């Protein structure tokens, strides 16, 4: 596997680490558990890390030096892709399939596919044209170089994996991917870490009042994820019922990310301007075991992203038995069963979000039903199933490449 810009060892919620990191780490682990040898190649950002870090007996992370050792803005990484290709090239003959994640990795993989005649599978995770089409206020447009790179990747990849049928359709609409080129491989959720839990116990452990009404946001703090929508919606809830301010809490967990990281600094000011500074709590990223407890603390989890290829936060929250209110967009339509495990909101109107969040907070019986149904729904998504589907995608890539090399096969 190739994951140039972020390592599966990185903590989600920090810098550029997020759902992609979880995806690569869990997939590598599950494939390794099946006895498949998996090497994940990523750019070295820490001189103290070993060259090779084992994930399990058959899967490992290999750090390659490409450009300076240390953090580099993602926008500057295209300038170091040739270095990454050169560092990865000696390892390629030992592998049967290249599986690249995100467009930077795809650019590396397509070069090595041509040089070494090795099948290539690519997972977009997000697409520039989709992000640009749906971007919100304050969100920078994805650069032309990325759009062009993704088009080249789609043209060269033997198989493209998509999280959902909607993403498969977007690959065809925006990048002219061939239907037979696409394999739908839904992500999973770590059901050992995230599972139904005891809310009173979790609140006691984390110092949250038992009678609090808790809305939770988890994710990178950037315009794409739209935590400002939850702040505005929370202010609307308080405006409608001022007495609610004594119990209502919006907890935002995550760290600034990307070229718009300064945007995160505007959020406390927004809460102050709306008169709800005492209601909103900002917390840095949490280790996943601790994050499990924060899900358990919540009454409802908000996922107001402008776009998500899937939405692992929504799935993790449901696995913990928590209702989810999410934007009616992209993969969230598949992660959340509208009306059964949570609610989908069209757009980002704070009044609509306040209405949806309030409907969950004001009806504990309905919230319990949504949570219980959500846990059952989430349990159908496992990383073991993802690994099985990925293995089928690898086999399809090998067949497609063999046919390309010899149409008679």
pLDDT in tens, 329-354: 989 999 999 999 999 999 999 999 99
- CA separation for the pair 53, 65 (Å, rounded): 15
Q: What's the whole-model pTM score? A: 0.88
- CA separation for the pair 403, 409 (Å, rounded): 5
Name the residue ranges covered by the structural domains of the chain: 19-188+383-405, 199-378
Beta bridge partners of 41: 2, 62
- Per-residue pLDDT of the chain in tens (409 residues, 90 and over written 9): 999 998 998 876 666 667 798 899 999 999 999 999 999 999 999 999 999 999 999 999 999 999 999 888 888 999 999 999 999 999 999 999 999 999 999 999 999 999 999 999 999 999 999 988 877 666 788 999 999 999 999 999 999 999 999 999 999 999 999 999 999 999 999 999 999 999 999 999 999 999 999 999 999 898 989 999 999 999 999 999 999 999 999 999 998 876 778 899 999 999 999 999 999 999 998 888 899 999 999 999 999 999 888 889 999 999 999 999 999 998 999 999 999 999 999 999 999 999 999 999 999 999 999 999 999 999 999 999 999 999 999 999 999 999 876 776 6
The neighbour count for residue 368, using CB atoms within 10 Å, is: 12
Fold entry, domain 19-188+383-405: Rossmann fold (3.40.50)
Q: What per-residue confidence (pLDDT) applies to 309?
A: 84
Q: What per-residue confidence (pLDDT) applies to 103?
A: 97
Architecture of the domain whose range is 199-378? 3-Layer(aba) Sandwich (3.40)
Q: What per-residue confidence (pLDDT) applies to 392?
A: 97
Half-sphere exposure of 232 (CA within 13 A, CB side): 12
- CA separation for the pair 404, 155 (Å, rounded): 13
> Among candidates 315, 310, 346, 392, which has minimal Cα distance to 127?
310
- CA separation for the pair 274, 298 (Å, rounded): 22
- CA separation for the pair 70, 376 (Å, rounded): 42
Angle, helices 227-240 vs 266-273, to 10°: value is 10
- CA separation for the pair 115, 89 (Å, rounded): 9
- CA separation for the pair 301, 348 (Å, rounded): 16
CATH topology agreement for domains 19-188+383-405 and 199-378: yes
Long-range contacts of 63-72 (CB under 8 A, 24+ apart): 63/7, 64/88, 66/4, 67/43, 69/44, 69/45, 70/45, 70/46, 71/15, 71/45, 72/43, 72/45
Q: What per-residue confidence (pLDDT) applies to 261?
A: 81
């Amino acid at each position: 596997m190739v994951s140039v810009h972020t390592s599966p060892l990185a903590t989600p919620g920090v810098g550029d680490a997020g759902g992609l990191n979880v995806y690569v780490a869990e997939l590598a682990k599950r494939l390794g558990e099946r006895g498949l040898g998996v090497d994940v190649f990523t750019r070295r950002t820490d001189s103290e890390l070993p060259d090779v870090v084992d994930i399990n007996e058959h899967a490992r992370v290999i750090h390659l030096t490409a450009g300076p050792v240390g953090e580099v803005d993602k926008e500057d990484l295209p300038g170091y892709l040739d270095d990454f290709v050169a560092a990865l090239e000696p390892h390629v003959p030992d592998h049967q399939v290249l599986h690249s994640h995100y467009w930077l990795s795809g650019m590396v993989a397509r070069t090595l596919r041509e040089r070494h005649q090795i099948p290539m599978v690519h997972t977009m995770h997000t697409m520039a044209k989709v992000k640009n089409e749906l971007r919100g206020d304050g969100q920078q447009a994805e650069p032309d170089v990325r759009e062009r790179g993704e088009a080249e990747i789609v043209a060269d990849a033997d198989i493209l994996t998509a999280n959902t049928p909607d993403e498969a359709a977007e690959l065809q609409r925006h990048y002219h991917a061939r239907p037979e080129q696409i394999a739908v491989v839904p992500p999973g959720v770590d059901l050992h870490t995230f599972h139904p839990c005891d809310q009173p116990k979790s609140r006691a452990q984390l110092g949250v009042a038992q009678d609090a009404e808790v809305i939770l946001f988890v994710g990178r703090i950037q315009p794409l994820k739209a935590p400002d929508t939850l702040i505005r919606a929370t202010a609307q809830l308080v405006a409608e019922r001022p007495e609610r301010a004594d119990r209502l809490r919006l907890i935002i967990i995550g760290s600034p990310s990307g070229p718009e990281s300064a945007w995160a600094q505007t959020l406390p000011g927004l809460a102050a301007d709306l008169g709800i500074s005492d209601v909103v709590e900002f917390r840095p990223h949490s280790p996943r075991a601790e994050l499990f407890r924060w899900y358990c603390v919540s009454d409802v989890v908000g996922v107001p992203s402008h776009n998500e290829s899937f939405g692992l936060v929504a799935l993790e929250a449901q696995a913990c038995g928590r209702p989810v209110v999410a934007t009616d967009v992209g993969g969230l339509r598949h992660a959340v069963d509208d009306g059964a495990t949570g609610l989908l909101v069209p757009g980002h109107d704070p009044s609509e979000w306040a209405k949806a969040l309030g409907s969950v907070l004001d009806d504990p019986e309905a919230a319990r039903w949504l949570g219980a149904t959500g846990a059952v729904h989430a349990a159908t998504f496992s990383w073991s199933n993802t690994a099985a589907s990925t293995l089928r995608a690898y086999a399809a890539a090998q067949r497609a490449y063999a046919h390309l090399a010899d149409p008679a096969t």
